[in-house]
């Protein structure tokens, strides 16, 4: 799933939610590619982040694997 936004936006933002899966996305040109805020137990795998990155803020017990940043 390609996700393209402006540089001021988030590609994927999850706040106060647990046990999510973010998988198989291409996220390009965002302020933050993937942003978890107070969200636990999320699986983040097989994503491609271009010109952005990944931020986990007060997020615990998450699995991050096989992503390209």
CB atoms within 10 A of CB 1: 10
Q: Residues of 4-42 as b/e, b for ≥16 C-beta within 10 angstroms?
A: eeeeeebbbebeeeeebebeebebbebbbbbbbeebbeb
Query: Per-residue pLDDT tens for 6-21?
Result: 556 888 999 999 999 9
pTM of the model: 0.86
22 or 10, higher pLDDT:
22
* pLDDT band (50, 70, 90) for residue 3: low
29 or 3, higher pLDDT:
29
Query: Per-residue pLDDT tens for 34-57?
Result: 999 999 999 999 999 998 899 999
């Amino acid at each position: 799933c390609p996700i393209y936004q402006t540089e001021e936006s988030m590609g994927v933002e999850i706040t106060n939610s647990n046990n999510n899966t973010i998988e198989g996305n291409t996220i390009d040109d965002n302020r933050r590619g993937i942003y978890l805020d107070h969200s636990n137990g999320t699986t983040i795998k097989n994503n491609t982040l271009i010109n952005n990155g990944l931020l986990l803020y007060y997020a615990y017990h998450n699995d991050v694997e096989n992503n390209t940043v």
